Amino acid sequence: MSTHALHIDDLVRQLDDLPSLPAVVMELLTSIDQEDVDISVLAKKVSHDQALTAKTLRLANSSTYGLQVKVTTIQQAITFLGFQTTRNLITAAAVTGCFAQGLCKGFDDKAFWRHSIATAVCARVLARRLRFNQDYAFTAGLLHDIGRLVLVTMYPEPYAETIAKSVQDDIDLLDAERAVLGIDHVAAGLKLAEQWKFSDTIMMAISHHHDPDTVGAGVLAHIVHVANAIVHALDMVGDAKEAVPPLSPVAWKAMGLSEEAYVHVFRETEVQFDEIAAALIS
């Protein structure tokens, strides 16, 4: 029996109290499968949010995307990078700015985002090698642990106990969540993803990033699972308590990469990380 025995239904009832994404981002997310979206109208709406626009353009102009001209408007970004990539950049810019910081003792918001961004970058690098959609991989990597922010925001004090237990017993935060709270960040993240209307593919990846062996988990869950382990192993956050979580041999083999290829993935992830992190964490 967990200390707090929270139930996922309690969480769902309070989800409305959580920060919401800007309306235009919600609109972008729900328009994923629509073909008749008027891009210029959406671009104009995003442009009204100056902070969001600035962050999105900073990201679009990072050398990872290899643009030869600096884009100065959302419309230009769409022209050069395409609608899907730009939409993902806007989403990334929006989610990294929408949660309040410093709510929970022991929870380092900057470190959280550094880990998420590193996982996003690594997932994108892996996706390119697997010829999988790189935008999906980036977004899924960025959001895989978003449930942690849900728990931290809703239950700051119990979550502080969770962190303390994980440090004291030197166990995975996931196990500490189950022991102390009774619910974990996977379930919480899934509920938020539903609320925020993320696509099924992204939801599957969030849902199975710790158990990619589940039948039907999908390639994206494999990619995020492996990227997460790599980022821990490369110690990219620089946390003294860093520890590599279990790595599924099934997901690892599913990448089909040689040692040489993995070493290239490590290097590309490290080279691209700093600039993307600088664009997203300000």
Partner 1 sequence: MNSPFHHLDLADVRPGMVLSDMLLDRQGQVLLPKGAVLTANIIALLPRHGIDRLPVLRSISEGEAPVPIDETAVTAQLAKLFRRLDLSLEANSAALALQTYVADYRLEREIAP
Burial state string for 95-107 with b = 16 or more CB within 10 A and e = fewer than 16: bbbbbeeebbeeb
The size of the interface with partner 1 (CB under 8 A), counted in residues, is 37
Q: Which stretch binds partner 1 (CB under 8 A): 34-42, 99-107, 138-146, 260-268?
A: 260-268
The reply to whether 132 sits near partner 1 by the rule CB under 8 A is no
x/- string (CB under 8 A) for partner 1, residues 51-90? ------------xxxxxx----------------------
Tokens describing residue 92: 């990334």
Q: Which stretch binds partner 1 (CB under 8 A): 2-10, 94-102, 200-208, 224-232?
A: 224-232
Please state whether 116 falls in left (phi above 0), alpha (psi between -120 and 50) or beta. Answer: alpha
Cβ proximity to partner 1, 38 vs 239, nearer residue: 239
Question: Rounded to an integer, what distance in angstroms lies between the CA atom of residue 251 and that of residue 57?
Answer: 34
Give the one residue of 144, 158, 272, 277 binding partner 1; rule: CB under 8 A. Answer: 272
Cβ proximity to partner 1, 28 vs 125, nearer residue: 125
Tokens describing residue 81: 């990078």
x/- string (CB under 8 A) for partner 1, residues 152-181? ------------------xxx---------
The reply to whether 200 sits near partner 1 by the rule CB under 8 A is no
User: Using alpha carbons only, what angle is made at residue 226 by residues 225 and 228, rounded to the nearest 5 degrees?
Assistant: 65
Give the one residue of 194, 253, 278, 282 binding partner 1; rule: CB under 8 A. Answer: 253
Widest Cα–Cα separation across the chain = 58
Cβ proximity to partner 1, 45 vs 264, nearer residue: 264
The 8 Å CB, 24+ separation contacts for 258-267 are: 261/129, 262/230, 265/122, 265/125, 265/126, 265/129, 265/230, 266/230, 266/234
Tokens describing residue 137: 């991989």
Question: Rounded to an integer, what distance in angstroms lies between the CA atom of residue 146 and that of residue 114?
Answer: 13
Rule CB under 8 A: which of 18-57 touch partner 1?
none
Tokens describing residue 24: 């235009």
The reply to whether 246 sits near partner 1 by the rule CB under 8 A is yes
Q: Which stretch binds partner 1 (CB under 8 A): 14-22, 45-53, 89-97, 232-240?
A: 232-240
Sites of contact with partner 1 (CB under 8 A) = 63-68, 170-172, 229-230, 232-235, 242-249, 251-253, 258-260, 262-264, 266-268, 271-272
